[in-house]
Amino acid sequence: MILSKRYRILRRSPAIRSMVAETHLEPAQLIAPLFVTEGKDIREPILSMPGYFRLSVDELIKEAKELWGLGVKSVLLFAKIPDELKDNTGKEALNPEGLMQRAIRTLKHNLPELCVMTDVALDPYSTYGHDGIVENGEIVNDKTVEVLAQMSVSHAEAGADFVAPSDMMDGRIGAIRQALEQQGYHQTGIMAYSAKYASCLYGPFRDALDSAPGFGDKKTYQMDVANSREALKEVFQDIEEGADIVMVKPAVAYLDIIHAVKQQVLVPVSAYHVSGEYAMIKAAAQMGWLDEEKAILEILTSIRRAGADLIATYFAKQAAQLLQG
């Protein structure tokens, strides 16, 4: 045959393929979510997240140092709160000596250059396992937002570089930005979980924090899986209210949303490759049904290709190790 175009030319060797690759995955683009628990020397396995652990603050420091050494420069903290400290007001979330605040302070003390991001929502602190204050079976918006704003200030005070509100209440980004400004935290960033869907893929995470909703589900605040234009509404609103980074969550089942958001905004777009997405790969790999290492790199690259600048993923460390070669 005499052909004018042979597309296989650009796929012929690894050198050529890497030269023309459109998407690159780098450790600095990854955010490692980390679960903090009380105690010392604790690395508690999470059953539904094989290979992942709840860490006491001392172990958290070790883990963060290891991540830093691999080029992963951002962590996203979640605290597992003992049952006796949970209530319906989020009081413990504001405790300057609370687990989250201690974890932030110790991390920033040991690794001042690390970018420390913190989850802002009430579910780990709530007797109901909901992201907000519950009244008459409803998750009330405005009272919740007040607590979230104070919680953000408390994290900023402890040294957080970014707060990451994951609650999906209306108006919280504006309220948080205003509270940070009023208290003089002009350098604290907001990574907004802007398009967060009411997904079943958060199941393993709720095991990790023992934070499953005690009644009902989260569909009155998290987004309906059926919608995509609504994601843009949420993203535009959060940017208007002061978000520095917007996030889409989950990631792989929502690549269309990541793509749409990326085309519409000028701020960095983050995607959260969530616990259920992690568990699916781990489970299939344990069964010998797919190659875990190849799956990790393929899937994270796909999330980047869809338009995510940053990816929060439980594979951050493993991916960084694989990328080192």
The token pair that represents 169 in the structure block: 């209440």
b/e for 29-38, b at 16 or more Cβ within 10 A? bbbbbbbbbe
What would the x/- binding string for ligand PBG be over residues 260 to 299, using CB under 6 A? --------------xx------------------------
Site for ligand PBG contains 197 (CB under 6 A) = no
Angle, helices 172-182 vs 141-158, to 10°: value is 40
Minimum CB distance to ligand PBG smaller for 29 or for 166: 166
Q: Is 196 a catalytic residue?
A: yes
CA distances (Å), origin 111, targets 65, 73, 115: 7, 10, 9
With CB under 6 A as the rule, give the number of residues binding ligand PBG. Answer: 12
Q: Which residues contact 138 (CB under 8 A, 6 or more apart)?
A: 220
Q: Least distance to ligand PBG from the beta carbon of 125, Å?
A: 11
Which residues are paired to 247 by β-bridges? 193, 270
Site for ligand PBG in 205-224 (CB under 6 A): 205-206, 218
CB contact at 8 A, 222 and 234: no
Per CB under 6 A, 234 contacts ligand PBG: no
Distance CA 309, CA 258 (A): 10
Our finding on whether 48 is near ligand PBG (CB under 6 A) is no
Nearer to ligand PBG, 203 or 268 (CB): 203
Residue from 36, 60, 81, 119 touching ligand PBG (CB under 6 A): that is 119
Please name every residue paired with 138 in a beta bridge, in sequence order, or none if there are none. 135
Show contacts with ligand PBG in window 162-191 (CB under 6 A): 166-167
Is 249 an annotated catalytic residue?
A: yes
Q: Which of residues 129-168 bind ligand PBG (CB under 6 A)?
A: 131, 166-167
Contact 292, 282 (CB under 8 A): yes
Query: From the candidates 86, 218, 249, 317, which is the catalytic residue?
Result: 249
Binding site for ligand PBG (CB under 6 A): 119, 121, 123, 131, 166-167, 202, 205-206, 218, 274-275
Give the residue numbers marked as catalytic.
Answer: 196, 249
